[in-house]
Amino acid sequence: MSESLNSKRNFEDTVSEHLVSDASDLVRGSVRPPIDYSSAAAFTSSSWARWKSLWTRRFTLSLLAGQVVSLCITVTNVTTTELVSRNWSLPTTQTWFLYCSLFLVYTPYTMYKYGLKGWGQMIYRDGWKYFILASCDVEGNFLVVKAYNYTDLLSCMLLDAWAIPVCLFFCWVYMRTKYHWTQVLGILVCVGGLGMLVSSDMLTDKNYPALSKGKGDAFMIVGATLYGFTNATEEFFVRRSPLYEVVGQLGMWGTLINGIQAASLEHVDMTTASWNGATIGFLAAYTVAMFTLYTVAPLLYRMASSPFYNISLLTSDFYGLIFGLFLFHYSPYWLYFPAFCVVVIGLIIYFWHATPEEQGKLDPQAPAYIRRMHLDDQV
């Protein structure tokens, strides 16, 4: 018995040492070199030192991960367009395969890590919060897709950006994140890049008439609000809990909620849709792209933040142009290229003064009752 107690104390001491070490790393990584305004030479050298301090491994990976999720969004848009053109328009059913794949991949691993009893305890104690997260995610996806059916492209692109301030607000509510003015500037620069992309679409006549603008705009605003809420909430969860728990629960509850909704709204359309090799292939590509997005996004929340994730998505229209050049033979408009550069510059400005480490405490671990259960089993 004494040996078990000693091993328990050693385990707790090790955890404490790791937490202290992580805190020290956080302090060291959260300081940018100051800018010296005393002279032109001092300003130049200090600005160069600040520039070099940006390019840490964490920031570089965050920048790359942001473009990965942006590319995934583009793939989902392209595959959805192809599905609709082939008489397969089942947006809720289409998303069900995403949630099911997340459930099938991450939930068994959660059971392996927690044990079946521990997994059941997690469902009993924390399942309610994941149910709320999944409900908002499912309905956000549904409302945004419905908005595209009623309002025009200009409104959709501009109102979708409403998710950014919503996400900032909920991050502040959850984690009391302190935003530096340079972060706000970075967001404004990214939105300016979005404005250039919208102008490009308008100048190239890609807009389409609205069937019911007021209704579509309302759907988009509510959907973007749910997007901002779910992004910030998921960041709050994955900073404190293992990724496999959060994503697995999102998949499990999403499968249930989305399945009920699809059966209620699309059971007739399922029988009339064209099910063939092409539609199944595009559906598989859509699911793979969304699975990748839902896996990379929580990692990006940890490395940077959910607002950084949202502004990273503003480059997706540029990747849409690249796909359009090869698939739909679009003629590239010159404004797309500087718009992409402006968004990337905004992403860099976002962390010009603040650092990714400052965006919130990062301590992902199994729930305390799971850890106690494992310690009791060892004793």
Identify whether the C-beta of residue 197 lies closer than 8 Å to the C-beta of residue 157: yes
Q: What pTM value is reported for the model? A: 0.87
On the CB side of 86, CA atoms within 13 Å amount to 16
Long-range contacts of the stretch 63-67 (C-beta < 8 A, 24+) = 63/347, 63/348, 65/296, 65/299, 65/300, 65/303, 65/304, 65/312, 66/300, 66/304, 66/308, 66/309, 66/312, 66/313, 66/315, 66/347, 67/312, 67/315
Q: What is the pLDDT of residue 26?
A: 39
Query: Alpha helix (H) ranges present in the chain?
Result: 2-29, 40-54, 57-85, 91-150, 153-160, 163-175, 181-203, 213-238, 243-265, 267-272, 277-303, 306-312, 316-327, 336-350, 368-378
Q: Give the DSSP per-residue string, 289-335.
A: HHHHHHHHHHHHHHHS-HHHHHHHGGGHHHHHHHHHHHHT-PPPPTT
User: What amino acid is encoded at 152 in this protein?
Assistant: D
Per-10-residue mean pLDDT of the chain, 379 residues long, equals 42 40 43 89 92 93 95 87 84 92 96 93 95 95 81 70 93 92 95 84 65 79 93 96 96 96 90 88 94 96 95 86 70 81 95 90 89 78
Distance separating the N- and C-terminal Cα atoms of the chain: 7
Closest by CA position to 228, among listed 181, 282, 174: 174
Please give the DSSP secondary-structure letter assigned to residue 163. H
Q: What is the pLDDT of residue 152?
A: 67
Q: What is the pLDDT of residue 15?
A: 38
